[in-house]
Structure formats: structure tokens, C-alpha cells
Amino acid sequence: MNSSDAPGAEGFRARVREFLAAELPAGWRGVGTLDAAAADAFAERWRATLFEHGFLAPSWPAEYGGAGLTPLEQVVLAEEFARVGVPTGVQNDVFSIVMIGNTLLHWGTEEQKRHFLPRILSGEDRWCQGYSEPGAGSDLAGLSARAEIDGDEWVINGQKIWTSGGQLANWIFVLVRTDQDAPAHRGISLLLVPMDQPGVEVRPIRNMAGDSDFNEVFFTDARCPRENVVGEVDGGWKVAMTLLGYERGEAAAILPIMFRIELDRLLDLARENGAAEDPVLRDRLADAYIGVEVMRFMGMASLARFLQGHPPGPDAAVSKLYWSEYHQKVTELALDVLDVESLVVQGRRPTNVTMFQTDDVGAPNDSASWITTAMVSRSGTIYAGTSEIQKTIIGEKLLGLPK
């Protein structure tokens, strides 16, 4: 199945192209042609434009500020945005819209939807994720951060780690233990916690690329209103799994679009510097092409299941495992294609304004682009659930293997 095969897809594509032609500057060649400061400024202006036209959360119902698009139309939108090299939002929108926004639509009370969803779209509230802990990592059931009721408020104590975008957020959704005596997967709740209070401390972590995109977050008697629990008190495990399904599932149909654009840039580089004539590198480039095609077919299969009424489930683990390991291989290949140029960082570094794992559309084939992307790709098999966790999900939930 291709997105173009579905009834109505091409009509919607024409509408999106009219929107892009009207809103983008003349001669636009992609956000990858801009330096970091200009790319950030463009992303904020572009976010406001998407909000104005309902394209920021395109699948949300119109009553909550979305465009009410189908998942298929959302894929067409992503394809056209990728084609011209514009982002679908800013960095924290992955957490604000894809994760907690979609989860509130599924589990939230009407009061929570009416309060939080408009503030997410306006940009007043920008979210980060409080899941991983130093002693638990991706094993969420092993978390130890806790919350207790004190009058009309929850009081939160504990630590989270690998909190991407925490330095840019003013709200955090936090998994905490609310029943200390319950079994591991029970007694957990998902709380919505404001970060601009004395009991929340964010400490940036510097990675090997020299950036500080993820953080430690410490809670010391931090507070949030009693009604800021999503789903049932002590029933947060189901809510947490729904959120992870959106995180891993929505990427299945959209990420292959970005990976294909990235691979095309790598093929151009290989042709230009002669690496494409090396038979070993040619085999690896062909293998990368097959890898992207496999991802594309898996994404379309996920989309087809979604269109048939099946929400993201454990099958999202297959996609997450596949793309994260693919990207490490293809960026290692890029360094081999660069050959000795991979020893020196030169040119434009990725701006990461899209939060996709590839460099932005329009970025030059500089060594800085590929070296930085290769380093960032190392974390792909850790965040959003490690490869080990994905294999466990596949074994237990899809293959029926014993625990």
C-alpha cells in the first residue's frame, strides 16, 4: 500500500501543496540550508503558521484545535512537509502533542482536555517526559519516584533521568508509585506536574556531541493538584502503555520518509566522491535501500491497521527496534563513505529542530552533518524503550513466549 493509492489522498495532497506554496518564502530549499539560530527562529514562526491552519495537531478533533484529519491524511501531510524540508513542530511537540496530547484524548477527563489541549497548541505549555529513572531505566515497573496525597494535592519525591527537552519545558508528565505495597505493575499513576515551582530541579547532561538535550530532573516535595492524575489512581500502567504506543506507533509511517531523504543524500555523496564505485560500499548502500523499503512497508501496514480501527499496540515494538538499529548501521556507512573526511568535523552541524533522527532537508553533505547524526543515532536504541525492552515485548506480546 502507498499513501497515493488510497481514495482522496491526491486531492488532499494538492491542498497541502497549495498551502505550502502560499506560506513558504520564494526560493525555499529546506530548513537544512539555515544556520542554527535562523533554523530555530523559522521553526517557531512555522509552528505559529501550522497552529493557525490546524496543521499542528492534524489528527485532533476540530473542537480541540486540530484539523480532524485521518491517519492517512496525516501521512500525506508528513510526506509533503518532508519533501519541501519544513518541520511538523518544534522539539517539545513530540512530547506535548504526540505523547501526552494524544494520551489525554484517550484517557483524560473532559476538564483535562479543555484545559490542557488548547494550551499545548498555543505553546503556552511545553511538555517533557518523566519516565526513566537511574535505578530502573526502561524497566518502568521498577520505578521508585513516589507521590502521596496531602489535602487537595499530590506531593512528589524522587528522580527522573534522560529527560529530553526538559530544559525547554514548563510541564512534565511523571510516572510515580502511589501505592508502595502494590505489585510492580500496579500502584503506579501518571501525574501532570508544573515545572516552574521550587520542588523541581532540572540538571542538563552533556552528551558526546557536545549538546545538552537531555537532563536529570529531581523532585523534592513538588506538588500538583489532586485532579492532575490521568486515568485511575494506581492504574497508570495502562495509561503509560497507551502513551508509549503513540510514541512508537506514530513514527512507523512517518520516519521512513525522513530516512529515505537521508539515504538519497548519502547516495549523492557516494556518487560525488567515488565511493559508489567500491563494490563493498555498493553492497552496503543497496542493503540500506532495502532497509528503508522494509520500514516503509511496515509503516504502511501499521497505517492500514490503524485505518481499520486498531490503535497502536505491541507491534510498534517491531518498528522501533528495526529503525533504531537501521539508523546506526546507515550512519556508520556514511562515515565509511566519507573516508578520511570523517576524521575532521567540518561544516554545518544538525540543528535538530525537527526531532527526527536525520539531519534536516537541504543540509549539505558536510562531515559535521554525518558525524553528529552518527553520534546521535547511538542513543536511538536506548530512548523510547531500549532494544532489549522491545525484544521482550515482541517475545511476550507478539510471539507468546513465556516470561
Answer positive or negative: Cα dihedral of 232, 233, 239, 241.
negative
For 203-257, how does the pLDDT look when each residue is reduced to its tens digit (9 = 90+)?
A: 998 877 677 778 999 999 999 999 999 999 999 999 998 888 777 666 666 788 8
- pLDDT given at position 395: 93
Distance, CA of 312 to CA of 318 (rounded, Å): 12
- pLDDT given at position 180: 87
Distance, CA of 401 to CA of 393 (rounded, Å): 10
Residue 75, pLDDT above cutoff 50: yes
Q: CA angle at residue 383 from 223 to 209, to 5 degrees?
A: 105
pLDDT band, very low/low/confident/very high, at 87 (cuts 50, 70, 90): confident
| CA neighbor of 171 nearest in space, from 133, 150, 149, 202 | 202
β-partners of residue 252 are none
Q: What is the DSSP string of 244-271?
A: HHHHHHHHHHHHHHHHHHHHHHHHHHHH
DSSP label of 235: B
Distance, CA of 193 to CA of 190 (rounded, Å): 10
H helices present in 308-365, as ranges? 316-338
Is 247 known to be catalytic? Answer: yes
- pLDDT given at position 314: 76
Q: Which is catalytic among the residues 79, 133, 247, 250?
A: 247
Three-state secondary-structure class, residue 226: coil
Place of cell 555523496: 269
